[in-house]
Amino acid sequence: MKKKIAIYTLLITASLTFLYPFFWMIVTSLSPEKEIGGLVALPTQFTWDNYIQMFSKIPIGRAFFNSIFTALMTTSGVILFCSMVGYALAKMNFRGRNLIFYVIIFTMTLPFQITLIPNYITMVKLNLVDTYAALVIPFLLNSFAILMFRQAFKTIPDALIDAARVDGCSEPRIIFQILFPNIVPTIVTVGILTFMNSWNEVLWPLIVIRNEDMMTMPQMVTLFSVGGRAEAQIGVKLAAAVVLALPIMIAYSFFQKYFIQSMASSGVKE
């Protein structure tokens, strides 16, 4: 019994360590600037002032749209393209299949530091700087998603595919109409990971986007925080951070299990 109490105390303390800072962030962003700073800090009055100021200082609405658009395009592109590649690797016989498979594995271990600057140069030369294409295209295919789809398609019996072929189904129709309903967990996993990574990505946008109208949320909030425009007002900065965190936190509160499973599987695979 004593041991149980000790364990619960530890676990509750740990959870507070992870939850309290976020709580503090939200409360502070709703507090008047002069009241910020207390430890427990439930302010005497709530105010939207920080948010109103933040909205008037940066085009955060536009950035929000850019981020959502980029993340949705990337996610649907990854599901479309990576599932096709994964399917070909799992269920079709062709010359060079193993070679492609090894290339995918190799690409996975290649540190991004090596391709970062050359890829920026490619974007400059293709005239894609300050476009959605620059934010989406480089992320449309990735080794992890392909391997996840390959694994999922491998578990599907050949008989199902053969039956569909006998009925005259084209290969894309087999994938998207017949097999997709059977691999929903994989689609959800890949979808959540891709969306989250795209939403949180900040280094690449900082490199390829200069025009304020094209900036994504994390980039906009970063530049707002680093640049002088927040005028060292903590509440205003944190309001921007809250707006950046909220969509993912809301999604997380609904699909918590999937988030954890997805991330765990990505760790296991790497």
Min dist. Cβ of residue 240 to other proteins (A): 8
Min dist. Cβ of residue 93 to other proteins (A): 8
Min dist. Cβ of residue 163 to other proteins (A): 10
> Which one, 72 or 140, has the nearer CB to other proteins?
140
Structure tokens at 47: 């105010």
Cα–chain-centroid distance for residue 34?
A: 35
DSSP H helix total and E strand total for the chain: 13, 0
Min dist. Cβ of residue 239 to other proteins (A): 11
CA dihedral angle for residue 138, residue 143, residue 148, residue 151, rounded to 10 degrees: 140
Closest CA to 202 of 135, 105, 103, 269: 135
Cα–chain-centroid distance for residue 29?
A: 24
Q: Which residues contact 247 (CB under 8 A, 6 or more apart)?
A: 68, 199
> Which one, 186 or 216, has the nearer CB to other proteins?
216
Contacts of residues 95-103 at CB distance under 8 Å and 24 or more positions apart, as own/partner, are none
**What are the φ/ψ torsions at residue 96 (nearest 5 degrees)?**
90, 0
Tell me how many degrees the CA angle 154-158-161 measures, rounded to the nearest 5. Answer: 105
> Which one, 182 or 233, has the nearer CB to other proteins?
233
> Which one, 186 or 221, has the nearer CB to other proteins?
221
Min dist. Cβ of residue 214 to other proteins (A): 17
Residue corresponding to tokens 């595919």: 161
- Determine the Cα–Cα distance for residues 4 and 178; give it in Å rounded to an integer: 50
Min dist. Cβ of residue 182 to other proteins (A): 18
- Determine the Cα–Cα distance for residues 146 and 115; give it in Å rounded to an integer: 20
> Which one, 24 or 64, has the nearer CB to other proteins?
24
Min dist. Cβ of residue 154 to other proteins (A): 15
> Which one, 55 or 120, has the nearer CB to other proteins?
120
> Which one, 42 or 226, has the nearer CB to other proteins?
226
Structure tokens at 151: 């694994």
Are the beta carbons of 208 and 129 closer than 8 angstroms? yes
